[in-house]
Structure 1
């Protein structure tokens, strides 16, 4: 991540993930709220499982891409952890970043196992997601030694979103399907995504003058920027939730009467844990 592109890659990943999760959870919540008008066709158990499998596969793919980029990209360690000639650890920052991607890959792998087999409890995916976020924050916390004041500050601000996601994902183990927790995680994920881009522009500006990394005024401005990022993320999630909810409700209202009758029997089934993916 020691470059603009190195911050843009995870930033894009988290930004897309946050937006996707917002749309997905909004659809599922809207269909649960509108069960009386034939919503099962939009979010059946089978379709939810398919979405989870596709999502986990994409996360696993990008985690592998991230690990390979950190290891074999320009200036990467190429799997060499220790330089026996110079007698020191080699490219530890890249190893830290690769380890972060590794844990998200583990989360995706566990999620695939859960949604393709009956080998593990459903809540295990939220536990693994919480562990992945915690590991990311833990490594970032001890990733800042010897850096300039502004460099440390922008990364510490990132930790508020990361550890917030850790807590929310952990709470979801016990309150799965809670739309407030889900949208809060989406918001913090969007914040993390946009903030990675902000860090890239601050530390590795692709054009224009470089930032003074020791200026206290820059720290004050960046802190205010973080609040703007949070407000932007809240706005994005809120707008997406409203659009999706209205679209789902509008579509369900147009369900033909004959189809509505065919769906009634299915809607009488009690909601199971599988419906709260």
Structure 2
């Protein structure tokens, strides 16, 4: 087989693996966040401002159903699966120690710790006494994600680095809203912002997968550079040929950031408007 054909095959495999590596976790996060938005708004509508209490997970069906803990089961299973894929260096399936892969696996490890601990306590205790502890564990997931993104061993530079910097802004909001929800469990805004930020993380991750790893979607004047070698190399990076091209690509990233957030807020508005206005028991505070 010709050398150039082998090189092209390596590039296609790398692109496919990296794109899938963004689409799968991004889709999972987006769906999880949408699930939380719908359930948070629904709970606030049913219970009213005086009786609303935030949740870090929502029963799939009635609390007495065997499927009630489906969300936590899925998070634990997905986290373990993702850890295995990172350790095995998908799509190569080898045990080569790569810092970049183990950093990603560590993010999923903290997610598994949160979901696993919450699942066990909910099944055994069935009490709200562990709400604050689960909240701290949820906040630690975002805290570790932010830490590992900021001090990533992969050399994210140029446009790719800018996309990752914008991702850190979203994760920071998730961290703050998780802490706020833990401290103020009756705060509907904190709970809603947390759910919105999770959707935003997922959609932004998907957006990065397409815009940074699909050659046809790379901004004009920029090209994908693939790294070969050890952990010090970039998995892939979008390099812009001129300052004008780089400035234009970053401006497009800013627009994508705002458009995605706008789309999420439109969805939240539709969900809120789906529930008609209702009267609450005496003592409830009317809120505009």
TM-score by length of 1: 0.74
Cα distance in structure 1, aligned partners of 2:154 and 2:216: 27
Structure having greater relative contact order (Cα 8 Å, sep ≥ 6):
1
Within-5 A mapping of 1:27-106: 27-33=42-48, 47-48=62-63, 53-72=69-88, 73-78=90-95, 80=96, 90-106=97-113
Residue matched to 1:170: 179
Cα distance in structure 1, aligned partners of 2:175 and 2:37: 17
Pair 1:53–1:134, CA change in 2 (3 A): same
Q: 1:17 aligns with which of 32, 37, 54?
A: 32
Is the contact between residue 100 and residue 153 of structure 2 (CA under 8 Å) also seen in structure 1?
Answer: no
Pair 1:49–1:16, CA change in 2 (3 A): farther
Q: Secondary structure at the match of 2:130?
A: coil
TM-superposition CA deviations, 1:60-95 (whole Å, max 9, x none):
1111121122222213553x4xxxxxxxxx321111
Within-5 A mapping of 1:260-275: none
TM-score by length of 2: 0.72
- Runs of at least 4 residues of structure 1 off by over 3 A? 46-52
Q: 1:208 aligns with which of 204, 216, 220?
A: 216
Residue matched to 2:198: 189
1:217 matches 2:248 = yes
Residue correspondences, number:
231
Is the contact between residue 52 and residue 115 of structure 1 (CA under 8 Å) also seen in structure 2?
Answer: no
1:6 matches 2:21 = yes
Shift of 1:137: 1.1
Gaps of 5+ in 1: 36-42, 81-89, 250-266, 268-277
Shift of 1:131: 0.3
Shift of 1:189: 1.1
Shift of 1:145: 5.0
Cα distance in structure 2, aligned partners of 1:4 and 1:11: 10
Gaps of 5+ in 2: 1-14, 51-57, 223-238, 241-245, 282-288
Residue matched to 1:114: 121
Cα distance in structure 2, aligned partners of 1:70 and 1:184: 30
Structure with the larger helix share: 1
